[in-house]
Amino acid sequence: MNRIKNAFDKKAFIGFVTAGDPNLDKTQEFVLEMERAGASLVELGIPFSDPIAEGPVIQNANIRALSAGCTTDKIFTMVKELRAKTQIPLVFMAYANTLYKYGYEKFCNRCQEVGIDGMIIPDMPFEEKDELATIAEKYGVALISMIAPTSEKRIREIAQDAEGFLYLVSSLGVTGVRKEITTDVEQIVSAIRTVTDIPISVGFGINSREQVHHYTSIADGAIVGSAIVKIIEQYQEDAAPKIYQYVSEMVAGLA
């Protein structure tokens, strides 16, 4: 939890990669390059056959990772190796079925063992998270809540119970690069601020330096996924320097 808190000592750039795309050795390399470029925290997607929150770019990354033989156990082994090289906060993005099949207790215990700081479960409703939340708390793993533009009547309830940071979904629909985001993010942030001072990071659709700077001026962090995964899709095993260049451009000038 302290590592997540430290990520928000300044405005945070949060990068996302699908673990195992194109392979787990490269996933390690990509995380380290993002850190070197100035990322504050990295989300690691656990590949899943039906990632309902994801658009085509990350869906395809899931398919590539699974086709290459990536498994949850192999990801845990990779994270353990990665944690020996870096103390950057690491958060899993995973689907509820993956955790249920693996076993909540076993999954959270392994997270603690290898140094995972938190997890985001996009298909687990707030009202149904208590069973997992109790176990995650036992092992010191933050269960990070998401607030969507449609959460208006529940914003305060979700925010009051939040830990780690709040993931504010910028747009309806699935992940993917967007030229324009029309949600009144500032209004949602203001509503959250009335009940908690937990850090807020905005994600879904963010891909340009202008967007990163805009949303970090409103909130505490910006999350970029599809734009990074597209780089990996294009350059595969040679993506590391391109990822470094992209993240460097995104974080330039962040206070």
Checking if the pLDDT of 223 tops 80, the result is yes
Q: What is the pLDDT of residue 1?
A: 54
Q: Is residue 232 situated within a structural domain?
A: yes
Q: Is residue 193 situated within a structural domain?
A: no
Mean pLDDT lowest for which of 85-89, 104-108, 187-191? 187-191
Beta carbons of 2 and 163 less than 8 angstroms apart: no
Q: Is residue 17 situated within a structural domain?
A: yes
Q: Is residue 60 situated within a structural domain?
A: yes
The dihedral sign for the CA sequence 142, 143, 144, 147? negative
Q: Is residue 107 situated within a structural domain?
A: yes
Which DSSP letter does residue 11 get?
A: P
Phi, psi of 193 (to 5 degrees): -65, -20
pLDDT (tens digit per residue) in 30-83: 999 999 999 999 999 999 988 776 778 999 999 999 999 999 999 999 999 999
- Tell which wins on pLDDT, 232 or 177: 232
- Tell which wins on pLDDT, 204 or 136: 136
User: Average pLDDT, whole number, for the chain?
Assistant: 92
Q: What is the pLDDT of residue 173?
A: 43
Beta carbons of 96 and 121 less than 8 angstroms apart: yes
Could you tell me which of 53, 30, 34, 63 has the C-alpha nearest to residue 232?
30
Q: Is residue 98 situated within a structural domain?
A: yes
State which amino acid sits at residue 3: R
Beta carbons of 70 and 20 less than 8 angstroms apart: yes
Q: Is residue 10 situated within a structural domain?
A: yes
Per the structure, how many domains does the chain have? 1
Q: What is the pLDDT of residue 174?
A: 42
- The residue with tokens 């689907």 is 95
Long-range contacts of 102-105 (CB under 8 A, 24+ apart): 102/72, 104/131, 104/132, 104/135, 105/135
Q: Is residue 186 situated within a structural domain?
A: no
Using CA atoms, how far apart are residues 25 and 3, in angstroms rounded to an integer?
Answer: 23
Mean pLDDT of 222-238: 97
Kindly report whether the peptide bond that precedes residue 241 is cis, defined as omega within 30 degrees of 0.
Answer: no
Could you tell me which of 188, 195, 66 has the C-alpha nearest to residue 203?
188
- The residue with tokens 């995964």 is 229
Helix H or strand E segment including 86: none
Residue partners of 100: CB distance under 8 A and separation at least 6: none
CATH code: domain of residue 8: 3.20.20.70
Q: What is the pLDDT of residue 177?
A: 47
Where in the sequence is the domain holding 141, given as residue range(s)? Answer: 2-146+207-248
pLDDT (tens digit per residue) in 158-200: 999 999 999 999 765 444 444 555 568 888 999 999 999 999 9
Q: What is the pLDDT of residue 171?
A: 62
Beta carbons of 101 and 52 less than 8 angstroms apart: no
